[in-house]
Amino acid sequence: MTALLIPESPLQLLPTLATKIGLNEAIVLQQIHYWLTKSKNVRDGRVWVYKSVNDWQKEFPFWSKNTIDRTLKKLEKQQLIFVGNYNKRKYDRTKWYSIQYKTIAEIV
């Protein structure tokens, strides 16, 4: 087996979702969903995951920080994710993300 074939956790993607919202957006949205299933961060009745762009780049090393930031902004503009800030320190600008599952159900 070659070292480039699944020696680590793969990213998952539904082609139907990628067709509707964009490839990068579908990949990031799926990854947010993955982390939400593991998260215990509940605020305002919603489960959240928090990550900085630097954190996201560790998961997506093949994208620039600008690409990741632009993709997250597109997801927010399409109203597919909620973006919040529940950080304890005012200077901490790490964003919190949750998915608007109702919107996704309407487009798929």
Tally of structural domains, the chain: 1
Q: Considering the entire predicted model, what is its pTM?
A: 0.88
Summarize pLDDT for 13-29 with one digit per residue, the tens. 889 999 999 999 999 99
Give, in degrees to the nearest 5, the angle at Cα 101 between 97 and 106.
Answer: 140
CATH at 42? 1.10.10.10
Is residue 4 in some structural domain?
A: no
Q: Is residue 10 part of a domain?
A: no
Helix, strand, or coil here: 72? helix
Taking only the tens place, the pLDDT of each residue in 44-86 is: 999 999 999 999 999 999 999 999 999 999 999 999 999 999 9
Q: Is residue 71 part of a domain?
A: yes
| Residue 1 pLDDT exceeds 50 | no
In a domain? residue 79: yes
- The residue range of the domain holding 95 is 16-107
Q: How confident is the model at residue 12 (pLDDT cuts 50, 70, 90)?
A: confident
Which helix (H) or strand (E) segment holds residue 74: the answer is helix 65-77
